[in-house]
């Protein structure tokens, strides 16, 4: 049971995330001037659902806050409060608190301080257009922290709370005196036609009372017409019922919960006196028990006949109902299914094996045999399975973009800068693992853009720009890569300052000659920070270097392009998936290695003299006028090569890495270009520097995947030192 509830609760939190997204989109639309009933209703429904589920799972604080928020939304929905900008601002603040409460309910953060937001909501409800001052100054006295949400102190182990029942028309309750011995209850019950028309069943009410020890002591049949005039849907009888005094009034009220609003129900204490007579002719039916019996039968046959009929038909048809169900609509409720991510990984791994087996078959069979066993068809199906499995792991990048609007609101409030966010391509699907790891870099880039890029409104106006800055967040798929850009229209990178800072920090020499791009890249250097005052937004010493290392850990890279006075564009180039790699199969001393294609810039067959030795053990290649360092992988890995090829017969693959720029790698030949399934080395061996994993090639042999960044890193240090010297 508990596991089941945990699982349901996990689904609830997913719904919360969806609800929060819908609410945020709705609020953003409202902020932009769309206050249509549909938009308002979407926000209301989202908050309402969160509240409902939160109550069911016993998240009292979330329920209470969402309830207050919902009240304001309800008033707006009903047109009693106008959705002015200041009201919307309060709601955005409340939205943030709901998000925090959801996070608190999930246990990812502590309970948020929502007093100010509650006060602001109160002010809106009270009709005072919440001024910012009010938001900041919560008067504890006027903040009803205890709201009348159906939240109770007593929470049972399953997190359920008592149901709130509304009992109307329960007269006489005030008269009940506290007595050592409870006098008997006397109940007068006259069900109404309306209650019956709504499917209420008086017989069930009486049976439930009987279950508590009640006795029907009188039935008033005076209103009962002759049979020919009897309306089977009307109610004609009035019952007088006596009930032991120890039964709680609430219990009695519960019984009448569904008939009370329309029916006459009077509950009184008899104070130990004899039962009052039933209003009219109480003795008549009592004198003739047979008549009562007949009467009750007639009532059962007449008045509730419709219900009896309905329930029996329901019962009979229910039996064959499953057979009638259209499979397509059989379970409209469950259109999604939650799957353990590990199972997906396992599936992807197995599909990878299948792909490999397929290539092995195609290597071993002659083309004619391949056709005979329909191998191409098999390969096509395998490819389809592979694509489908990959798509299972893909999620819209929206999930990573989601937290940006809120962050921007916080940032703009903190800095006094004005920023609008434009997003594009939120539906671009990216591997779940990538989405999880891209959040932090993205957060930092946005912070960076607001903190360092976008100018203050005054400064922007002086520069002839609109006071409001713009940050564009976009995602797109290009081949096997996902391109995420964060672009601002701020002041751009101040290269003179970056350079001065880099010299001061000893990152480069005072006389280093760097291109603009190289200077821009310096902001990604570890420990680099140009913020003169460390704000609490960005600039804590960790920053762009973390962005870069996170992105590189994903097999991606960060490009920076900046125009002074016009803004900066950060481009994250990410792999579509973490499990399959587009690789170039190269041969080295008879062995095969896979070079990630993302790093490969070009392949060069060197002319004699193009590769030159500078100092012993260090070589460069001249490529169109520039010199690039060259690395002999045979030496790096210490491979025994009985017949080393002269440089002119080998190939130089120019790779580009984040750490070292372009570097030439000398290999023997290029074998192939193919997608390979990455198998982790860590699972079977310890991590080896320079190797990113292994894969199985078509012929069943194993090839190691080269980790370009790690391979060229030692070179780059030499290079940087050389520059700095």
Q: Closest separation between CB of residue 226 and another protein, Å?
A: 24
Structure tokens at 96: 């943030």
- Does residue 15 interact with another protein by CB under 8 A? yes
CB-CB contact of 97 with 65 (8 Å): yes
| Cα 327 to Cα 588: distance, rounded to the nearest angstrom | 57
For residues 70 and 122, which CB has a smaller minimum distance to another protein in the complex? 70
55 contacts another protein (rule: CB under 8 A):
yes
Q: Site residues for another protein, window 198-227 (CB under 8 A)? A: 198-201, 203-205, 208
Task: Quickly count: other Cβ atoms within 10 Å of residue 449's Cβ.
Answer: 28
Stretch that binds another protein, among 194-202, 351-359, 496-504, 605-613 (CB under 8 A): 194-202
Question: Which of 20, 26, 43, 51 touches another protein by CB under 8 A?
Answer: 51
For position 142 contacting another protein by CB under 8 A, the verdict is no
314 binds another protein (CB under 8 A): yes
Q: Which letter, b or e, does each residue of 618-641 get, where b requires 16 or more Cβ atoms within 10 Å of its Cβ?
A: ebbbebeeeebbbbbbbebbeeee
Size of the site for another protein (CB under 8 A): 69
Q: Which is nearer to another protein, 49 or 485 (CB)?
A: 49
Closer of 15 and 410 to another protein (Cβ): 15
Residue span binding another protein (CB under 8 A) among the ranges 193-201, 406-414, 473-481, 693-701: 193-201
Q: Which of 164, 388, 701, 718 binds another protein (CB under 8 A)?
A: 164
Looking at beta carbons only, is 106 or 530 nearer to another protein?
106
Q: Which residues of 678-705 are buried (b: 16+ CB within 10 A; e: fewer)?
A: bbebeeeeeeeebbbbbbbbbeeeebbb
Q: Which stretch binds another protein (CB under 8 A): 318-326, 456-464, 558-566, 611-619?
A: 318-326
Shortest distance, CB of residue 168 to another protein, whole angstroms?
A: 8
Min CB(95)–another protein separation in Å: 18
- Candidates 169, 182, 249, 257; binder of another protein (CB under 8 A) is 257
Residue 198 CB, nearest approach to another protein (Å): 5
Comparing CB distances to another protein, the nearer of 203 and 230 is 203
Retrieve residue 492's tokens.
């751009």
Which 61-90 positions form the footprint of another protein (CB under 8 A)?
Answer: 63, 67, 70
Q: Look at residues 99, 165, 85, 98 and name the one whose alpha carbon lies nearest to residue 132.
A: 85
Residue of 524, 538, 446, 442 lying closest to 484 (CA atoms): 442
The alpha carbon torsion through 283, 284, 290, 293 (nearest 10 deg) reads -80
Query: Restricting to residues 334-363, which ones interact with another protein according to CB under 8 A?
Result: 334, 336
Structure tokens at 423: 């997003």
Is 302 an interacting residue with respect to another protein (CB under 8 A)?
no
- Residue 11 or residue 280: which is nearer to another protein going by CB? 11
Classify residue 15 as exposed, middle or buried by CB count within 10 Å of its CB (0-12, 13-18, 19+): middle
Q: How far is the CB of 123 from another protein (least distance, A)?
A: 21
Residues 384, 395: Cα–Cα separation, whole Å: 18
**CB-wise, 329 or 536, nearer to another protein?**
329
Q: Which of 108, 128, 142, 317 binds another protein (CB under 8 A)?
A: 317
- In the complex, least distance from residue 223 CB atom to another protein, rounded to whole angstroms: 21
546 lies in the site for another protein, by CB under 8 A: no
Contact 202, 300 (CB under 8 A): no
Q: Distance from CA of residue 245 to its chain's centroid?
A: 54
Q: What does the DSSP assignment read for 55-117?
A: HHTT-HHHHHHHHHHHHHHHHHHTTSS---HHHHHHHHHHHHHHHHHHHHHHTSSPPP--HHH
Q: Is 717 helix (H, G, I), strand (E, B) or coil?
A: helix
Reading the block at residue 148, the tokens are: 């009348």
Helix (H, G, I), strand (E, B) or coil at 453: helix
Site for another protein contains 36 (CB under 8 A)? no
Contact stretch for another protein (CB under 8 A) within 190-198, 470-478, 518-526, 539-547: 190-198
When asked if residue 311 is in the footprint of another protein (CB under 8 A), the reply is: yes
DSSP strand pairing (567-575 vs 557-563): antiparallel
Q: Does 254 bind another protein (CB under 8 A)?
A: yes
581 near 676, Cβ under 8 Å?
yes
User: Minimum distance from CB of 73 to another protein (Å)?
Assistant: 11
Length of the chain: 725
**CB of residue 298 vs another protein: minimum separation in angstroms?**
18
Task: Indicate whether 511 belongs to the interface with another protein (CB under 8 A).
Answer: no
Residue 627 contacts another protein per CB under 8 A: no
> What H or E segment, with its residue span, contains residue 553?
helix 544-553
Residue 637 near residue 690 (C-beta atoms within 8 A): yes
Per CB under 8 A, residues contacting another protein are 1, 4-5, 7-9, 11-12, 15, 44-45, 48-49, 51-53, 55-56, 58, 63, 67, 70, 150, 156, 158, 160-166, 194, 197-201, 203-205, 208, 254-255, 257-258, 261-262, 306-311, 313-315, 317-319, 321, 324-326, 329, 332-334, 336
């Amino acid at each position: 049971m508990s596991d089941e509830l945990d699982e349901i609760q996990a689904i609830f939190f997913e719904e919360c995330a969806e609800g929060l997204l819908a609410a945020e989109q709705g609020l953003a639309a409202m902020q932009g001037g769309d206050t249509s009933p549909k938009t308002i209703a979407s926000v209301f429904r989202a908050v309402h659902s969160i509240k409902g589920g939160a109550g069911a799972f016993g998240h009292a604080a979330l329920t209470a806050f969402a309830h207050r928020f919902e009240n304001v939304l309800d008033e707006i929905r009903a047109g009693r409060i106008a959705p002015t900008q200041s009201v919307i601002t309060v709601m955005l603040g409340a939205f943030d608190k709901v998000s925090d409460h959801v996070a608190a309910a999930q246990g990812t953060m502590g309970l948020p301080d929502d007093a100010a937001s509650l006060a602001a909501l109160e002010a809106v409800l009270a009709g005072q257009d919440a001024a910012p001052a009010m938001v900041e100054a919560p008067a504890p006295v006027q903040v009803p922290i205890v709201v009348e949400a159906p939240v109770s102190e007593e929470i049972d182990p399953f997190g359920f709370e008592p149901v709130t029942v509304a009992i109307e028309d329960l007269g006489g309750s005030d008269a009940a005196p506290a007595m050592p011995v409870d006098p008997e209850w006397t109940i007068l019950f006259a069900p109404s036609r309306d209650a019956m028309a709504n499917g209420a069943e008086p017989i069930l009410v009486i049976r439930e009372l009987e279950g508590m020890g009640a006795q029907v002591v009188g039935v008033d049949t005076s209103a009962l017409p002759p049979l020919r005039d009897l309306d089977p849907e009307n109610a004609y009888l009035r019952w007088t019922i006596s009930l032991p005094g120890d039964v709680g009034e609430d219990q009695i009220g519960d019984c009448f919960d569904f008939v009370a609003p329309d029916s006459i129900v009077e509950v009184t204490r008899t104070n130990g006196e004899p039962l009052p007579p039933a209003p009219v002719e109480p003795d008549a039916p009592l004198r003739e028990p047979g008549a009562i019996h007949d009467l009750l039968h007639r009532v059962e046959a007449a008045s509730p006949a419709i219900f009896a009929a309905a329930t029996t038909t329901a019962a009979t048809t229910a039996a064959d109902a499953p057979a009638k169900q259209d499979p397509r609509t059989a379970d409209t409720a469950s259109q999604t299914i939650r799957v353990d991510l590990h199972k997906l990984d396992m599936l992807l791994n197995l599909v990878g094996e299948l792909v490999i087996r397929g290539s092995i078959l195609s290597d071993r069979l002659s083309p004619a045999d391949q056709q005979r066993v329909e191998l191409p068809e098999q390969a096509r199906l395998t490819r389809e399975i592979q694509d489908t499995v990959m798509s299972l792991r893909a999620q819209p990048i929206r999930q990573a973009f989601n937290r940006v609007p809120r962050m921007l609101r916080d940032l703009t409030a903190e800095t006094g800068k004005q920023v609008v966010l434009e997003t594009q391509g939120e539906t671009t699907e990216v591997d779940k693992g990538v989405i999880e790891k891209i959040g932090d870099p993205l957060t930092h880039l946005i912070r960076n853009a607001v903190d360092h890029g976008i100018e203050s409104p005054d400064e922007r106006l002086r520069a002839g720009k609109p006071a409001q800055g713009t940050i564009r967040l976009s995602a797109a798929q290009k081949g096997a890569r996902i391109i995420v850009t964060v672009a601002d229209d701020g002041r751009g990178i101040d290269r003179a300052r970056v350079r001065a800072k880099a010299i001061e920090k000893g990152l480069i020499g005072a006389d280093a000659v760097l291109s603009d791009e190289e200077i821009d890249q310096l902001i990604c250097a570890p420990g680099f920070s140009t913020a003169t005052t460390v704000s609490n937004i960005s600039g804590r010493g960790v920053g762009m270097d973390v962005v870069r290392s996170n992105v590189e850990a994903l097999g991606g890279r960060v490009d920076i392009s900046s125009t002074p006075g016009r803004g900066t564009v950060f481009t994250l180039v990410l792999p579509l998936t973490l499990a399959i790699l587009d690789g170039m199969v190269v041969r080295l001393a008879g062995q095969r290695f896979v070079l990630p294609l993302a790093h490969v810039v070009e392949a060069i067959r060197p002319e004699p003299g193009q590769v030159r030795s500078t100092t012993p053990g260090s070589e460069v290649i001249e490529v169109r006028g520039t010199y690039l360092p060259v690395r002999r992988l045979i030496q790096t890995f210490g491979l025994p090569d009985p017949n080393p090829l002269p440089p002119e017969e080998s190939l130089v693959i120019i790779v580009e890495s984040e750490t070292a720029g372009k570097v030439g790698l000398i290999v023997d030949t290029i074998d192939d270009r193919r997608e390979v399934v990455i198998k982790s080395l860590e699972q079977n061996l310890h991590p080896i520097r320079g190797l990113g994993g292994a894969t199985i090639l078509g012929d069943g042999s194993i090839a190691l995947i080269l980790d370009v960044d790690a391979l060229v890193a030692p070179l780059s240090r030499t290079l940087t030192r050389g520059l700095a010297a």
